[in-house]
A and B are shown apart, each in its own frame.
Chain A
C-alpha cells in the first residue's frame, strides 16, 4: 500500500496536504505538555509535592492530639489561623528536606532499628514481650497492614536519623565549658550606694503644663470601647424541678440496669502451666500430663511460687509465682473456669486441660459477689432520673431559644414572649470583660464580634457553663473616647511631679558619677548626699542581697584596670538612683565545680549546640533546594 501511495504522490499540492495531515496527527495533544497543569500542592520541595490533603491530615492529627491533651482549655480556632498552618507546613517541609537528604547521602534506616522500634511499642506486647498475633490484630483493627505500618515507622525514624547523628556528633570541649563557667560564675568586687529620692522645692504645676501633658499623652487617658448587652438566659439549675419519679418508674429502671448493682464473685488465683504444643503427638501429650500430675502432686500453698518459677511455661506469670490476679467467671476458658470456681479457698487443683496445656491452680482468696437491693439504691436512682429529666427540660428550652432568636435576629423580644423569659442586661463592659455573664470569654467574644456588634444581630446560643446558656443582643455601644481633662487632672499633676523628681534624681546621679570618675572617694561622695556605701566581695551574677538593677549594671561594666575602678549609675525600681563601682573582676573558681555539675553542664551544652547545628543543617538544605509555597492554597 505504501508503495501505491508513493507511486501516486506526485506534485507539490498532494505533498502539502500530506504534510498537513502528518503535522496534525504527530503533534495532536502536544500543547498539554507545555501548558501549566492545574497545580494542587501547598508546597513543593525540590520535586516532591506536599498536597493540601497531607497538610490538612497533619493539622487534623495535631488538633486531635491537642484536644486530648488540653481538654477544656483547647481552642480549635487556632488551627484555622494562617500562622499555625505556616508553622505546620514549615515542619513538613523540614521533614521532607531531611528525607531527601537521607537519600542523597545514602543513609537508610537499618531494618534492625525498625524491628526494635516496633517491638518496643507497649500496645503490641503481651506480658512485656512483643507478640506477633497482638501486633497483627492491633494493626488490622486500625486498618493498616504490617507493610504500611513498617513503612510509617521507617519514615518517622528516617526523619530523626540526621538530627540524631548531628546531635551525637556534636563536639563540646572542656575549654568551651571552662569559658562558659568563667563567665557564668564570674566574680566582681562591688561597691554601691543608693541615692535618697530628692524632695522638690516647687510642687506647683501650672494648668498649661497639665494641658500640654494631657494633649501629648492622649492615649493614656482613654475610656475603652464598651458595650451594654441584653440577654436571655436558660439556667438548668433554676428551672422548675420536674415531678419526682414514681415508684413504678424507679423499679423499672432498677430492673433495666440491674447489672450495675451486681458485683460478681472474684477469685484470686495462681497457676502453673505445662505447655502442650498445638499439634502435639499423643506421646507429647502423655509426657505433659505426666509432668503436670507430678507437679500437682508436689504443689502445696507454701511451695507453689517456687514450683511456678521452676516448671511453669507461662512466661508472663512464672516470675510472679504464677499469679493471675483476681478473675471473674467467664474471663478464661470453660474448663479453667469450672475448675477455678469448684475449688475451696487454699486448695490446689488437679491438672486442668485448656487450649494452652495443663494448668495446676491454687485458689488463694475469694471475694464473694454482692447484689445491692432496690431499697439501697433507690435514692441514687431517683437522683439520676431527676437529672435526666432536668437535662431534657433544659435542652428543650435551650433549643427553642436558639431557634426563636435565630428566626428573629434583630430582637430578643419575640423569643422572650414565646418562651416566657425575661430580658436581662449586662454591662457596660470592655473587651477585658466585666462581672456576671460579661466575665465569660465566649460572651465577650460574641459581644464584640462583627455579627453582633456591627450588624446588630442576636448571637448564637452561648454555652457559658454546664446546663447554662445565654443569647445576647447589643443594647448600647460606646466607642473608645478620651476622658475629660477634669477627670484626670489630679492623675496628670502627680505624673508631672514624678517626672520632675525623676529628672532631678537623674541629674544628681549624673553629677555624682562625674565626681566619682574624676577620682573622688566613693565614701565621701556618698556621705555628701547622706548615703552609705555597701561593698560586696566577689559578687556573682545571682548574688543575694544586691538589688537586681545594680547586679545587672555591675556585669555590664568594662573590666577595670589595676587600681582604676569603673563606675556607673543605674535607675532603681521606684525612680531613685544608685551609683556603683566595680573594683576587680576574676574568673570563676573552677575547683569548686563538682564532676556532676560539669557532666550536667556538658549534657545541656551538647543539647543546645546540637540543636543549633541541626537547625543550621536544615537551613543549608533549604538554601540548596528549590522550595515553592503556594500560600493561596494553604
Chain B
C-alpha cells in the first residue's frame, strides 16, 4: 500500500480503525496465552506435589515393611493404587506387597497385585519387570501356560538374563526340555561371567543333560 500518500492524521485514523476491528481478539489472545502459561505452571506444580506425596507414602511403606506390619502395608499400598495410580511408587509398592503375598502362599492375591502393576507401569522397562514378576507368580501357582504367555509379553529384549532363565523354568514345567535348554543357554550368555546366579543357572542346565551331549 502507498503509505506515503496519507498525512499523519489519516495514518492515525487507519491505526485506530484497525485497532477497533482487532483489539478484542488481541486482548482475548493475550488473556488466553497468560491463562495457558499460568495453568501449565499450576499443572506442573500439582504433578510434582502429587509425585512427592506418592514418594512420601512409599517411604512410609518401607518403614512399615521393615517393622513387619503387613496389614498396614496392604492398606498403604491400596491407597497408593487408588490415589496415585500414575506414579511408579504405586507400581513398586504393589510389587513389594506381591513378594510378601507370594511368600505367604497367597498366590492369587500376588497375581492380582502384579496384574495391577503391569497395567499401570508407564515406563516400558518397569512394565517388563512387572511382567517377569507376574510370570514368576503364575509359575508358582501351577499355571505355566499363562506364565509362558506373560514372559512372551516382555518387549524389546529387556532383562534377557532374568527373562530367559524364567522362560527355561516355565518350559521345564511344561516338559519342553529342548526349548528349556536353549532358554538357559541364552540366559547364561546374556548374564555374563560374573552374574550372581550363574552357578544356579549352570546347575539347572546340567540337570537337563541327555545321553551323548552333556550340559552346555
| Chain A residues at the B interface, C-beta cutoff of 8 Å | 3, 6-7, 101, 104-110, 112-113, 165-166, 168-176, 179-180, 183-184, 186, 555-559, 566, 602, 606-609, 611-613, 615-617, 619-621, 623
Q: Could you write out 6 A-B pairs with CB less than 8 Å apart?
A: A172-B99, A175-B139, A184-B200, A559-B207, A606-B99, A613-B162
Inter-chain contacts of B207 with A (CB < 8 A):
183, 186, 559
Inter-chain contacts of B169 with A (CB < 8 A):
176, 179
- Quick one: which of B56, B88, B161, B203 contacts A612, CB cutoff 8 A? B161
Closest residue of chain A to B50, judged by CB? A106
| Contact status B51-A106, CB under 8 Å | yes
| Contact status A169-B48, CB under 8 Å | no
B183 interface residue per 8 A CB criterion: no
- B residues 76-104 in Cβ contact with A at 8 Å: 87-89, 91-96, 98-99, 102-103
Interface hub of A3, A609, A623 (most chain B Cβ within 10 A) = A609
Task: With both chains docked as a complex, state the minimum distance between the C-beta of A428 and any C-beta of chain B, in angstroms.
Answer: 39
Chain B 37-62 interface mask (CB, 8 Å, partner A; 1/0): 00000000001100110011011001
| Contact status A174-B103, CB under 8 Å | yes
- Quick one: which of B91, B102, B122 contacts A173, CB cutoff 8 A? B102
| Contact status A165-B114, CB under 8 Å | no
How distant is the Cα of A171 from the Cα of B107 in the complex, in angstroms?
A: 11
How distant is the Cα of A620 from the Cα of B123 in the complex, in angstroms?
A: 11
| Contact status A557-B136, CB under 8 Å | no
- B residues 94-147 in Cβ contact with A at 8 Å: 94-96, 98-99, 102-103, 105, 107, 110, 114, 122-126, 128-129, 132-133, 136-137, 139-140
Task: With both chains docked as a complex, state the minimum distance between the C-beta of B181 and any C-beta of chain A, in angstroms.
Answer: 12
Closest residue of chain B to A604, judged by CB? B196
Which 3 pairs across A and B sit closest by C-beta, in order of nearness? A169-B95, A173-B140, A175-B140
| Contact status A620-B125, CB under 8 Å | yes
Closest residue of chain A to B93, judged by CB? A169
Interface hub of A180, A183, A559, A620 (most chain B Cβ within 10 A) = A620
How distant is the Cα of A566 from the Cα of B206 in the complex, in angstroms?
A: 15
- Quick one: which of B4, B89, B137, B196 contacts A6, CB cutoff 8 A? B4
Task: With both chains docked as a complex, state the minimum distance between the C-beta of B58 and any C-beta of chain A, in angstroms.
Answer: 8
Inter-chain contacts of A6 with B (CB < 8 A):
4
- Quick one: which of B62, B102, B139, B206 contacts A168, CB cutoff 8 A? B62
**Given A186-B207, A558-B211, A176 contacting B89 (CB threshold 8 A):** no
- Quick one: which of A107, A170, A613, A617 contacts B99, CB cutoff 8 A? A170
Inter-chain contacts of A607 with B (CB < 8 A):
196
| Contact status A617-B125, CB under 8 Å | yes
B75 interface residue per 8 A CB criterion: no
Task: With both chains docked as a complex, state the minimum distance between the C-beta of A202 and any C-beta of chain B, in angstroms.
Answer: 35
Task: With both chains docked as a complex, state the minimum distance between the C-beta of A301 and any C-beta of chain B, in angstroms.
Answer: 43
Inter-chain contacts of A620 with B (CB < 8 A):
124-125, 128, 158-159
- B residues 59-78 in Cβ contact with A at 8 Å: 59, 62, 65
| Contact status A555-B206, CB under 8 Å | yes
| Contact status B211-A609, CB under 8 Å | no
| Contact status B137-A171, CB under 8 Å | yes
**Given A169-B92, A169-B133, A616-B158, A105 contacting B4 (CB threshold 8 A):** no
| Contact status B139-A180, CB under 8 Å | no
Interface hub of A106, A558, A619, A621 (most chain B Cβ within 10 A) = A106
| Contact status A174-B102, CB under 8 Å | yes
| Contact status B87-A106, CB under 8 Å | yes
How distant is the Cα of A174 from the Cα of B169 in the complex, in angstroms?
A: 14
| Contact status A106-B200, CB under 8 Å | no
| Contact status A108-B123, CB under 8 Å | no
| Contact status B55-A108, CB under 8 Å | yes
| Contact status B92-A611, CB under 8 Å | no
B24 interface residue per 8 A CB criterion: no
| Contact status A172-B136, CB under 8 Å | yes
Task: With both chains docked as a complex, state the minimum distance between the C-beta of A245 and any C-beta of chain B, in angstroms.
Answer: 60
Task: With both chains docked as a complex, state the minimum distance between the C-beta of A250 and any C-beta of chain B, in angstroms.
Answer: 62
| Contact status B140-A174, CB under 8 Å | yes
Task: With both chains docked as a complex, state the minimum distance between the C-beta of B187 and any C-beta of chain A, in angstroms.
Answer: 10
How distant is the Cα of A606 from the Cα of B98 in the complex, in angstroms?
A: 13
Closest residue of chain A to B195, judged by CB? A612
Inter-chain contacts of A623 with B (CB < 8 A):
156, 158
| Contact status B103-A602, CB under 8 Å | yes
Task: Kindly list 17 other residue pairs between chains A and B, CB separation below 8 angstroms, not including A171-B136, A607-B196.
Answer: A105-B123, A108-B48, A109-B55, A168-B65, A169-B98, A170-B99, A171-B95, A173-B102, A173-B140, A180-B200, A183-B207, A555-B206, A559-B207, A608-B197, A612-B191, A616-B161, A623-B156
| Contact status B162-A169, CB under 8 Å | no
Interface hub of A107, A606, A616, A623 (most chain B Cβ within 10 A) = A616
- Quick one: which of A180, A184, A566 contacts B211, CB cutoff 8 A? A566
Task: With both chains docked as a complex, state the minimum distance between the C-beta of B197 and any C-beta of chain A, in angstroms.
Answer: 5
| Contact status B88-A166, CB under 8 Å | no
| Contact status A616-B159, CB under 8 Å | yes
**Given A7-B4, A556-B206, A617-B129, A106 contacting B48 (CB threshold 8 A):** yes
| Contact status A171-B114, CB under 8 Å | yes
Closest residue of chain B to A555, judged by CB? B206
How distant is the Cα of A566 from the Cα of B207 in the complex, in angstroms?
A: 14
Inter-chain contacts of A168 with B (CB < 8 A):
62, 65, 92, 95-96
B28 interface residue per 8 A CB criterion: no
B1 interface residue per 8 A CB criterion: no
Closest residue of chain B to A184, judged by CB? B203
Inter-chain contacts of A612 with B (CB < 8 A):
159, 161-162, 191, 195-197
Interface hub of A174, A184, A606 (most chain B Cβ within 10 A) = A174
How distant is the Cα of A256 from the Cα of B30 in the complex, in angstroms?
A: 83
Closest residue of chain B to A7, judged by CB? B4
Task: With both chains docked as a complex, state the minimum distance between the C-beta of B106 and any C-beta of chain A, in angstroms.
Answer: 11
B204 interface residue per 8 A CB criterion: yes
How distant is the Cα of A623 from the Cα of B137 in the complex, in angstroms?
A: 28
Task: With both chains docked as a complex, state the minimum distance between the C-beta of A427 and any C-beta of chain B, in angstroms.
Answer: 39
Task: With both chains docked as a complex, state the minimum distance between the C-beta of A406 and any C-beta of chain B, in angstroms.
Answer: 46
- Quick one: which of A108, A112, A173, A186 contacts B136, CB cutoff 8 A? A173
B5 interface residue per 8 A CB criterion: no
**Given A173-B136, A613-B162, A108 contacting B52 (CB threshold 8 A):** yes
| Contact status B99-A169, CB under 8 Å | yes
| Contact status A173-B55, CB under 8 Å | no
Inter-chain contacts of B56 with A (CB < 8 A):
110, 112
- Quick one: which of B139, B197, B209 contacts A557, CB cutoff 8 A? B209
Closest residue of chain B to A620, judged by CB? B125
Inter-chain contacts of B89 with A (CB < 8 A):
107, 165
**Given A112-B59, A616-B158, A107 contacting B88 (CB threshold 8 A):** yes
How distant is the Cα of A602 from the Cα of B100 in the complex, in angstroms?
A: 11
| Contact status B110-A171, CB under 8 Å | yes
Interface hub of A112, A173, A617 (most chain B Cβ within 10 A) = A173
| Contact status A557-B214, CB under 8 Å | yes
Chain B 196-216 interface mask (CB, 8 Å, partner A; 1/0): 110010011011011100110
